[in-house]
Structure 1
């Protein structure tokens, strides 16, 4: 079985477990006044689980591929040639995401997001440091402003030792 079908099988299994949780466990704890609502807190997870199972089954059964294609195209993932893909970059980005999540509280949103965006673009090959810093700082500041000021959700902007 091809790599995309194995991934689809894992995805369908995850969606089934997620759907079980959405259908069987989320609605039991609703207070009586919410049980008469047409939309419950579990409605969106139920829709996501059903759509995920449908999409996963389409990939698992190969319904998205045309029948006339006998050999894999250049865009298909060939698990026999995984060493030719840029797995190092992908793994470094995953590690960077984990470090970003761990650094949000101690470093503050603005500093950790700016460093994350700069490091991520450096991993992907960007070498113009001035542009990387400018874009990262503007993006982090814009997101912080929208979340903090517009939505009213508190994000610690600065590191804890600077009073953020």
Structure 2
């Protein structure tokens, strides 16, 4: 079996577990008044799990394969790909998740976007920094003010 199908099989297992949690365990702890809402906190995870399962099945069944074979991943030449870049981004994601609460959303997300774009090859600091700041502030405003979900904007030692 090709490498892309192995990855799809692993992602299928993750999506199935995520879907099980979204469909059966997340809604049991809802308050009674929230059960009448048309959109629950588990709505987006449910949609994500279904889309992930469909995508993984399409890859597993080979339905996305066309005539061209030049874009396939050759597992014998993994060293030719940017594995270091991908692993560094994964480590950055873990660091972001760990820093989110103690350092606050604004600093953590801005730093994640700047460092992530640097890892991916962007070197224009005058573009990276303002775009990261604006994107972070827009997401924080939407989540905090529009959705009403509190996210600690500043580090704990600033009283955030």
Q: TM-score range by the shorter chain?
A: 0.7 to 0.9
- Corresponding position: 1:118 with 2:114: yes
Q: Give the alignment's Cα RMSD to 1 decimal.
A: 3.3
Q: What are the residue-to-residue correspondences of 1:54-65 with 2, within 5 Å?
A: 54-65=54-65
Unaligned ranges ≥5, structure 1? none
Aligned to 1:153: 149
1:37-86 Cα distance to aligned partner (Å, 9 max, x none) = 9x9x78887776666555434322323324xx4x721x211111111111
Unaligned ranges ≥5, structure 2? none
Distance in 1 of aligned mates of 2:43 and 2:110:
36
Aligned to 2:2: 2
User: TM-score, normalization: structure 2?
Assistant: 0.75
Q: Residues 79 and 133 (structure 1 numbering): CA distance in 2 closer, same or farther, change over 3 Å? A: same
Task: Report deviation, 1:26.
Answer: 4.6
User: TM-score, normalization: structure 1?
Assistant: 0.74
Aligned to 2:69: 72
Q: Residues 44 and 152 (structure 1 numbering): CA distance in 2 closer, same or farther, change over 3 Å? A: closer
Match among 84, 89, 98 for residue 88 of structure 1: 84
When the two structures are aligned, how many residues end up with a matched partner? 155
Task: Report deviation, 1:135.
Answer: 1.0
Q: Residues 19 and 107 (structure 1 numbering): CA distance in 2 closer, same or farther, change over 3 Å? A: closer
